[in-house]
Amino acid sequence: AQADIIPHLATLTEIAAILGGAPSEWTIRDVADGYINAVYLVDGPKGGICAKQALPWVRYHGESWPLAEDRAFFEASYMRRLDPIVGALAPKLLHFDPVLQFLVIEKLTPHIVLRGGLIEGLRYPKASADVGRYVAQAAFHTSDLGVPFERKFEDIGLFAANRSLLRISVDLIFLDPYQETWRNRFVPELDAWAKAFRDDIELKTAVARHRSAFLSNRQALLHGDLHSGSVMVTEDDTRVIDGEFSTFGPIGFDLGAYAANLILNWYAQGGYDRPADERDSHRQWLLEQVAVLWDSFRHEFVAIWEQNPDTGGDLYPAAHFSGPAGAARLATIRRDYVDAIFADFVAFAAIKMIRRVISYAQIADFGVIEDTKRRAEMQADALAFAREVLKNPGRFTDLGALLDAIPRFEGTGLD
């Protein structure tokens, strides 16, 4: 409980030194804004920390939704695994207590959560490029390209035990939007849309194909929940937080999650009371950021691969591709590898858009639109776009086609 945090931190010498002064001088603030964990900021005369605890239930829902506390262990494991890979793109883990399932993390200041900034119409020039680099580095160095299979299987063995949160992802992202369940929370104005999705065999087939990839393609270690609420930003610094959903899966999943939340913000902007020129210019910037994300990921991923001809992994040993013919073939292999990630990226973006409209975990981007009819109009446009992407993937094989389509669905959703 909150009252126990300061006395507990006082027993941790290194943390007490960061805070400075005496525990009686420390202040604590509840800053939880995600769905599942308790999060506090503690400040002392010298500095601050972030304390995060996994309760035995979903924080936002309450005790009627029990949830394994070991999610804090997986968040700590993810941070430790990626720290040497992504460096300053994530905060430092300062302490983890496996009994209390309690983490102490570097306090990020003056950072704010990216989602809040996007809702305000603020711009973060580095965020999307940094997230693209983050995904490229994390993915490459945990995949069969970057590590021998023995290391990869060790990681898979560890993160495969993160089953409670994987169940949440499978249910809330891949199953619930296409079935009736107590968890779904869409506004009544979207009843017809939800029914149409439940009845759409072609759509459900497309989603099932990607659900299968999510569960079976253990391509790299994923963050697993890389939406705009999992990124903290300033104008010139970006940190990825909240890795409790970490799991092995297709690299395009994390990229899709981030892009989905940019695109959802694009649609939500239509429901805000803001001058049209400001709205249009923010929307244009959001579309550019989807491109920046992808271009940054692709550039970084290919660069790491090219700079590490003997990549450390078992997939494409440089010795098998020597000479000009080998180099040319390797270039083709790289292009095909990245093209396959692009197809996953687009599909998972669409799937992640749908889950944020029809399923349990709604997002503030739409939630701040108080008029539910207006909110539903924006949400329905987003659903229409996402459905088109999933049912006609052949029309979205390049970034330009994807970005051009987003504005075309404005005003099409709700009759």
Q: Which stretch binds ligand SR1 (CB under 6 A): 32-40, 69-77, 147-155, 330-338?
A: 32-40
58 near ligand SR1, judged by CB under 6 A: yes
Interaction with ligand SR1 in 344-373: which residues (CB under 6 A)?
A: 360-361
Residue with tokens 């939880």: 32
58 binds, among ligand SR1, Mg ion, none (CB under 5 to 8 A by kind): ligand SR1
- H helices of 87-182, in order, are 114-119, 127-140, 149-159, 163-169
402 binds, among ligand SR1, Mg ion, none (CB under 5 to 8 A by kind): none
Residue with tokens 């990229």: 255
User: Which residue's CB is nearer to ligand SR1, number 129 or number 349?
Assistant: 349
User: Which residue's CB is nearer to Mg ion, number 144 or number 225?
Assistant: 225
Distance of CA 103 to the CA centre of its chain: 20
Give dist(CA 283, CA 332) in Å, integer: 35
User: Which residue's CB is nearer to Mg ion, number 6 or number 260?
Assistant: 260
Least Å distance, CB 35 to ligand SR1, is 4
Q: Which stretch binds ligand SR1 (CB under 6 A): 14-22, 28-36, 38-46, 367-375?
A: 28-36
Counting Cα atoms < 13 Å in the Cβ hemisphere of 272 gives: 23
User: Which residue's CB is nearer to ligand SR1, number 257 or number 378?
Assistant: 257
User: Which residue's CB is nearer to Mg ion, number 76 or number 287?
Assistant: 76
Give dist(CA 372, CA 362) in Å, integer: 13
Give dist(CA 166, CA 24) in Å, integer: 40
Give dist(CA 208, CA 211) in Å, integer: 5
Site string for ligand SR1, 290-329 (x = CB under 6 A): ----------------------------------------
Handedness of CA 224, 122, 290, 415 (dihedral sign): positive
Interaction with ligand SR1 in 145-204: which residues (CB under 6 A)?
A: 168, 172
Least Å distance, CB 198 to ligand SR1, is 20
- Residue-level length of the chain: 415
- Most distant CA pair in the chain, distance: 70
DSSP H or E segment with residue 280: helix 276-307
155 binds, among Mg ion, ligand SR1, none (CB under 5 to 8 A by kind): none
Give dist(CA 260, CA 355) in Å, integer: 10
Give dist(CA 34, CA 32) in Å, integer: 6
Q: Which stretch binds ligand SR1 (CB under 6 A): 30-38, 272-280, 284-292, 323-331?
A: 30-38
Least Å distance, CB 183 to ligand SR1, is 8
User: Which residue's CB is nearer to ligand SR1, number 71 or number 141?
Assistant: 71
Q: Which of 339, 344, 341 is nearest to 212 (CA)?
A: 344
86 near ligand SR1, judged by CB under 6 A: no
Q: Which position among 34, 252, 313, 413 is part of the footprint of Mg ion (CB under 5 A)?
A: 34
Q: Which stretch binds Mg ion (CB under 5 A): 26-34, 56-64, 284-292, 352-360?
A: 26-34
75 near Mg ion, judged by CB under 5 A: no
Give dist(CA 280, CA 122) in Å, integer: 13
Residue with tokens 């009252």: 3
Torsion region of 108: left, alpha or beta (phi above 0 gives left; psi -120 to 50 gives alpha): beta
361 binds, among ligand SR1, Mg ion, none (CB under 5 to 8 A by kind): ligand SR1
263 binds, among Mg ion, ligand SR1, none (CB under 5 to 8 A by kind): none
- Ramachandran angles phi, psi of 39, nearest 5°: -135, 135
Q: Which position among 35, 57, 153, 321 is part of the footprint of ligand SR1 (CB under 6 A)?
A: 35
User: Which residue's CB is nearer to ligand SR1, number 39 or number 330?
Assistant: 39
Q: Which position among 242, 300, 377, 381 is part of the footprint of Mg ion (CB under 5 A)?
A: 242
DSSP H or E segment with residue 320: none
- H helices of 160-274, in order, are 163-169, 191-199, 201-216, 252-268
16 binds, among Mg ion, ligand SR1, none (CB under 5 to 8 A by kind): none
Q: Which of 387, 382, 358 is nearest to 175 (CA)?
A: 358
Q: Which residues bind ligand SR1 (CB under 6 A)?
A: 34-36, 58, 168, 172, 225, 360-361
Q: Which residues bind Mg ion (CB under 5 A)?
A: 34, 242
